[in-house]
Every structure is written in C-alpha cells, then in structure tokens.
Amino acid sequence: MAFDIDMIKKVYSQIAERVDKARDVVGKPLTLSEKILYSHLWDGKTDKAFTRGKDYVDFAPDRIACQDATAQMALLQFMQAGKDNVAVPTTVHCDHLIQAKEGATKDLKHANSVSSEVFDFLESVSNKYGIGFWKPGAGIIHQVVLENYAFPGGMMIGTDSHTVNAGGLGMVAIGVGGADAVDVMAGMAWELKFPKLIGVRLTGKLSGWTAPKDVILKVAGIVSAKGGTGAIVEYFGEGAKAMSCTGKGTICNMGAEIGATTSTFGYDESMERYLRATDRADVADAANQVKEYLTADDEVYANPEQYFDQVIDINLSELGPLLNGPFTPDLSTPVGDKMTEIATTNEWPLQVEWGLIGSCTNSSYEDLSRASSIAQQAIDKGIKMKADLGINPGSEQVRYTADRDGILGIFEKLDAKIFTNACGPCIGQWARYSDPKNAPKNSIVHSFNRNFAKRADGNPNTHAFVASPEITAAIAISGRLDFNPLTDKLINEDGQEVMFDEPTGWELPPKGFEVKDNGYLAPDPDGSGVVVKVASDSERLQLLTPFTPIGNDISGAKLLIKAFGKCTTDHISMAGPWLRFRGHLDNISNNCLIGAVNAFGMKTNFVKNQLTGEFAGVPDTARAYKAAGVKSIVVGDHNYGEGSSREHAAMEPRHLGVVAVIVKSFARIHETNLKKQGMLGLTFANEADYDLIQEDDTFNFLDLNEFAPNKPLTIEVVHANGNKNNIIVNHTYNEAQIAWYNEGSALNLIKKENNA
C-alpha cells in the first residue's frame, strides 16, 4: 500500500490533546486551519498563541510530494545534505516532462526516450533515499496525491504551487520551493509565517451547468490574483458539504491563482466516500473517530466574522458558469452575452480553436464524466465539433476507469486526442506549433488553472480562457467563445436547431475505481548500495556547488533589469522547452528573466550593460557583470514572483551574480526562495521609489552590516549624472533567515549543522 496508515494514526492520536490545548491558549473556538496548524507544531508544544500574518512558526509536515521538474533540483540539493534517508514520507511524480503531441502512447514513448536520463536519475535517487516513485504516465502529482496520500487534518508540503489541491481532502497542503522541501527531507523544521484566515461561506447548492470550478473562478474575480496572499482560505457551509471531494480539490487547487497560502475544507461525508472509493477505508475509519477535530468548532462557522480575517459569501444557487481570462486567471466573465460584449471590445478572437480538459485542476472521474455527457449529446444530436479537443486524465487510475466505463470512447468519437496522464499543455508541453513565437492570434478554452501568456503553447497570441470541464466541452463543440449553452442553440448536421441539456455525471465510478498498473515503484528498504545516476557530461543534470556568501559589503552593484508590471516565475524562469534544463543550474540560467519586460524600452530580454553601454539579453548581461566581478540588482513591481514555487527563479539570478531583488511587493513562495538561496529580497518602503530607479543606476548598501529582523535597510542609489538618492527598503528576514544569508544559502547552513 502506497500510503502510510501508521503515520496517519499517529497524527490522529495526538490531535485531540494538541487542539484542546490550542483552544485554551488561543482563548476562543478554532477554525479548521488553526487546528491543523497547531497540531503540527514542530516542537509539539501548544503553549503559545501566534499572531496571524506576523509570527514565523516552525511546523512538522506529515508528507512531501515533488514533481519531476522541481524534484531534480530538490534532490540534487538533498544529496548535498549528507543523509541516508528522507526524514518524512516523500514521493516523486513524473508528470511535467511529457509533451502532448500525438496522443498518450506515442507521446509517452517519446518522453521516455528524450528524458530518460532525468527519469533514471529520479528513479535511482528515490530508490536510494526511501522515496516513493511514480513513473512517467502514472499521473499528475496532485491527482495522485489526492487519490493516495492526502488525509483529513494532515499537513503536507510539495514542490509545486498546486500542492494546495490536497485541501480538497481536508489537508493544509502548501506549495514550497525545493529548498524548503530539502529542509524537511533532511529532518528539519519547516518555517511559515502564521497565515491570516479567509472564510468562504458557501450557501445554496450547485446545479445545472455550474460546477465547483465556477466557485473558484468567482472567488478569483472577487479577490484578484493577490487577494489571498499570506492567507489560508477555509470553505464551509451547506454548499461545501454538498460538493464532491474532487470538486473541493478543484477549488483548493486554484487557490494558488489568488495567491493563497492554501485552501481547505472540513472533513465531511464526501471525503469519507472518496477515501473509501480510493481503497482507504482504514483512513476513513480513523478520521471518523476524531471527526470533530477535522473541522472547525461549530461556533466558528455560526459566526465566521468573529474568527476569520475576512469572510466572503457565495450563494451557489445563484452562481452561473464563468470564463476567466485571457492572460490572467482572475478576469472573470459570465458565459454568454457579457463575453460577446467584452471580447468584441477587446478584440479577443471569438472563434475557439481548442478545448482542453484535464490538468491537476479538473481531471477527476467526475470531471471527465460530466464533460463526456456533453460530448455524448453532440454525437446524439448530430452536432459537428468546431474546435479540436484534448484530454489529459489526472491519473492512470482515472484513465483506466474512465476507459473501462466508455467515457474516453465518447471523446474519441469526437476525434479528441487523449494525451498522457500528465501536465502537457498546462505547462507549455504542447507541440501545437512548429514556430510558436510567430503563431497566429487565437482563442482556446481549458479547464486548467493558469492562463498566462505562452503558458499552454508558447504562442504569445493565444488567448486562453479558463472554465469548468463541461463548459470547456460545450464551447469547444460550438467553436465560439461567446457561446452560452444555457440559452444558445446550435445548428446540427441536418440543419436543425438543437440545444444542450444540462451536464450529468458521477461523483465516483459506479463500478468502483480500477487500474492494472498504477505506475508506482516502492523504494529499496536499504538504499545504501543504490547508485544515483548522473552523467558527468550531462546537459540536463549538474551536481551543485555551494554558493559563496554575498557578505555585508555591497557597493557598486549595477542595475540588471527594472522589470515592468507583472513578473511571474514564468517571466523569471520560463517553462516550456527550458524544463529540460531544470537539473542543470548553469544551462537553465540562460533563461533568467528573459520573459520580464524591461521598464526602459519596454522590451523583453534587452537590457543595457553599463560596463560597455551595449544592449544584450539579461543572462548575457548578468554573466558579463559576474565575469567583471560586479554585483547586480533586479528591481520589480507588485507581487513579483507570483505563479509557481520553482526555486530556479531564485537560484538563476543568484548563480548569475544578482545579490538583491528590490520590489514593491513579493509573492510569498518566491520571497522565501530568494532567502533560501542566500540573497536579499527587499521591498521599497516608499513604493514611489520604484520610479526613481534609472537605467544606469549603481547601488551602494549603507548599513547591511546591521542586517537584523524588523530593521529596514538604506541603499544609496547613484544615477548616471552623479545625483544620489538614499532609499529605504524593508525586509521580512528573521534571525534564522539572516543566518542563511550569512552562510550563503539555507543548504550551506544545513550542511554545516550536519557536520557540527
């Protein structure tokens, strides 16, 4: 059995005492989020009430999950920590490196051939250090975690921002950088700023065309892409209880798109049903015995305004289907007339060329069955498919079962491509064009979570809209972005007007889940003799050398780039073809910040080298500064580093000689990642100082030798004309994080402590 029932029973055996004590210490009823957080304190001592949004707290997560792209760097780092085994149950999932092109069989064969050295490395390093390994094709990390490992009241971290998906099964599950995962694998505490709490009360009931996806699309529209920053979103109410467990997973999954630390739901019957259906009756039985500790105290949900920092109300009975996008997941538009109006005004292409169903967000059995009910109607009513359709099942278990039950066959009758059980088009691993940069303007609709420019197919002109699987199916069949399946008719092949009926489906497979080979490989109980496979001449894998400390004397540092507007981790360290170099720091650094718009000239990957006066790409310019022994600085706007947890977005600038990133505000994970790599992540005390920064600026840090918690730093900015401005920058480093900076990286500190 892949999951660890003993570990879960241990968590449940401690939960009552810890939570009861926490309630006394906090002095009021507790939310579910607080129960999970307080029952996972690193030292197990529940003797202090923490201040939300302020206190840094050490936690002891129950599990770790890594995907193949982020696992490479995480495990290369773990190898440096000098341990025999991971300290906490850990799994690796091969899902990001599989390109979608022709369909699952050919695509998987191709991936196994072109990425064999990475998969071999991950399999061997997992086997050596006691890590469970899910082979390519086994499924998408978060769906596999939900099916096998997530459990109510648990805490997990994962090296992927959509780790939050496991909140659908009542966990506090948080996406972290590989460096954080390495800490926990190495037996250390995991530190997090105690989050604020947002409560979302779901009244009414979903029905008809409205799906769980619409709940989170609505929330994103209300709070925006940074509205959840630093907070756990806790959903409750009659509408929450009436929803499937995998639907809850969808909502939690896209909590990442509002910047939330994570999202979660209280344990209920839908979770129990899901646990039993996925062969975990013993987890359900154990959870039932501590039920009251796996949801908030009654008083909290009765008077949520008193216990949450913010409460949002959504009446599911009044909610209709939404389409979010393009280019940002929080631009929410109801399907139909409103979309016609907005799309026409903005010149978004109304013709839809592809519909894509799947990803970790919406690839459950329920999702596929509801979408297939629409596809079946197209067949029955003689409606010709107007766009192409692609399906990525979430796991081999879902795929096998959906195939057995005829669901995939329905899509295939519409000529849909069934891609591998993997991320594929969700992460730019989609061979849609031979020359994506010059591909035409077009619209696509998908049931994924992210829709930043180029994210799906590398084409900056693809307008990607996010919707539920059933709406995605209907829009793909109609071929129209402004199609409203609730009211609009289509003309079938006999020239008749026809309409879709409401989607139908199964929460869980009526005949149960089934799978022949789920793709799991258990590790060797004694991995001491296992050899980790890394070729010395590999282009894709490179053993790491420790970073040297930056030190307290930063003077004469040059501006590398002043990023304008949105600068996500995709802009800093692009995905797509670059995923291939995830395990090779020097090679992947050639994508450093190439997607960021330079505020001077408004071009990407075109910055001034102050030493020569010439303009070049960001990585080349950074390398030129580094070669000349000159430190460099990156300046950015709001929510810098939003998006994913990839620590490459911090390691690459560090590797190329950037010493500080100064921005208006950070996305949490990225800020932590910068700290882990031993560099400075700073925010302008006065946001308007961003405007002071000029293209030829030089930076002198005046008081870095007094670097201390809660003490702002002063930087002298010298302009080309000799004028100077002293600017104040804030930081959120605590004592431990300053120690990382002083040692050169968090990993350097772990090693030092191991050897001590």
- Catalytic residue numbers? 95-96, 160, 450, 644, 646
Q: What is the DSSP string of 641-676?
A: T-S---THHHHHHHHTTEEEEEES-B-HHHHHHHHH
Name which position in 141, 156, 414, 593 contacts ligand F3S (CB under 6 A): 141
Assess 174 for contact with ligand F3S (CB under 6 A).
Answer: no
Q: How far is CA 195 from the centre of its chain?
A: 18
Name which position in 22, 71, 74, 140 contacts ligand F3S (CB under 6 A): 140
Are the C-beta atoms of 673 and 746 separated by less than 8 Å? no
Output the smallest distance, CB 108 to ligand F3S, in A.
16
Assess 68 for contact with ligand F3S (CB under 6 A).
Answer: no
Nearest to 213 by CA among 393, 465, 447: 447
Binding track over 341-370 against ligand F3S, x by CB under 6 A: ------------------xx----------
> Which residues in the 359-418 window bind ligand F3S by CB under 6 A?
359-360
Q: Which stretch binds ligand F3S (CB under 6 A): 35-43, 138-146, 319-327, 376-384?
A: 138-146
Binding track over 233-272 against ligand F3S, x by CB under 6 A: ----------------------------------------
Q: Which stretch binds ligand F3S (CB under 6 A): 125-133, 139-147, 707-715, 735-743?
A: 139-147
- The tokens 């997607």 sit on which residue? 595
Nearest to 69 by CA among 448, 508, 537, 429: 429
* Choice between 170 and 329, CB closer to ligand F3S: 329
**Which residues share a beta bridge with 139?**
395
* CA-CA-CA-CA dihedral for 665, 666, 668, 671, to nearest 10: -130
Q: Are strands 322-324 and 310-315 parallel, antiparallel or unpaired?
A: unpaired
Name which position in 223, 323, 423, 466 contacts ligand F3S (CB under 6 A): 423
Output the smallest distance, CB 568 to ligand F3S, in A.
13
Name which position in 202, 427, 651, 727 contacts ligand F3S (CB under 6 A): 427
> Which residues in the 602-641 window bind ligand F3S by CB under 6 A?
none
Output the smallest distance, CB 504 to ligand F3S, in A.
26
* Choice between 96 and 417, CB closer to ligand F3S: 96
Output the smallest distance, CB 143 to ligand F3S, in A.
9
Q: Are strands 388-392 and 417-418 parallel, antiparallel or unpaired?
A: parallel
Rg over alpha carbons for the chain, rounded to the nearest Å, is 25
Assess 426 for contact with ligand F3S (CB under 6 A).
Answer: yes
Nearest to 374 by CA among 326, 414, 331, 421: 414
Q: If binding means CB under 6 A, how many residues of this protein chain bind ligand F3S?
A: 14
Assess 147 for contact with ligand F3S (CB under 6 A).
Answer: no
CA distance 11 to 286: 10
Assess 743 for contact with ligand F3S (CB under 6 A).
Answer: no
Assess 449 for contact with ligand F3S (CB under 6 A).
Answer: yes
Q: Which stretch binds ligand F3S (CB under 6 A): 70-78, 176-184, 290-298, 422-430?
A: 422-430
Alpha helix positions (H), 116-242: 116-129, 141-148, 178-185, 212-223, 238-241
Q: What is the DSSP string of 243-287?
A: S-HHHHHHHHHGGGGGTBSEEEE---HHHHHHHHHTT-HHHHHHH
- Across 317-350, b (16+ Cβ under 10 Å) vs e yields eebebbbbbbbbbbbbbbbbeebbebbeeeebbe
Q: Which stretch binds ligand F3S (CB under 6 A): 8-16, 134-142, 147-155, 719-727?
A: 134-142
Say whether 7 sits in a helix, a strand or coil.
helix
* Choice between 319 and 423, CB closer to ligand F3S: 423
Q: Are strands 417-418 and 231-236 parallel, antiparallel or unpaired?
A: unpaired
* Choice between 330 and 637, CB closer to ligand F3S: 330
**Which residues share a beta bridge with 566?**
none
Output the smallest distance, CB 170 to ligand F3S, in A.
20
Q: How far is CA 717 from the centre of its chain?
A: 35
Nearest to 84 by CA among 13, 231, 187, 193: 187
Output the smallest distance, CB 425 to ligand F3S, in A.
9
- The tokens 């079962």 sit on which residue? 401
Output the smallest distance, CB 26 to ligand F3S, in A.
34
Tokens of 753: 């402590």
Assess 160 for contact with ligand F3S (CB under 6 A).
Answer: yes
* Choice between 256 and 596, CB closer to ligand F3S: 256
Assess 162 for contact with ligand F3S (CB under 6 A).
Answer: yes
Are the C-beta atoms of 98 and 423 separated by less than 8 Å? yes
CB atoms within 10 A of CB 614: 11
Assess 443 for contact with ligand F3S (CB under 6 A).
Answer: no
What angle do the packed helices 212-223 and 245-253 form, to 10 degrees?
30
Q: How far is CA 32 from the centre of its chain?
A: 22
* Choice between 241 and 646, CB closer to ligand F3S: 646
Q: Which stretch binds ligand F3S (CB under 6 A): 53-61, 135-143, 149-157, 198-206?
A: 135-143
* Choice between 141 and 186, CB closer to ligand F3S: 141
Indicate the burial class of 1 (C-beta count within 10 angstroms; 0-12, 13-18, 19 or more).
exposed
* Choice between 181 and 188, CB closer to ligand F3S: 181
* Choice between 420 and 748, CB closer to ligand F3S: 420
CA distance 639 to 662: 12
* Choice between 362 and 598, CB closer to ligand F3S: 362
Output the smallest distance, CB 484 to ligand F3S, in A.
27
> Which residues in the 550-609 window bind ligand F3S by CB under 6 A?
none
Nearest to 331 by CA among 318, 343, 344: 343
Q: Which stretch binds ligand F3S (CB under 6 A): 220-228, 408-416, 419-427, 714-722?
A: 419-427
Assess 92 for contact with ligand F3S (CB under 6 A).
Answer: no
Are the C-beta atoms of 65 and 93 separated by less than 8 Å? yes
Q: Which stretch binds ligand F3S (CB under 6 A): 51-59, 423-431, 474-482, 700-708?
A: 423-431
* Choice between 393 and 653, CB closer to ligand F3S: 393
User: Which parts of this chain interact with ligand F3S (CB under 6 A)?
Assistant: 95-96, 140-142, 160, 162, 359-360, 423, 426-427, 448-449
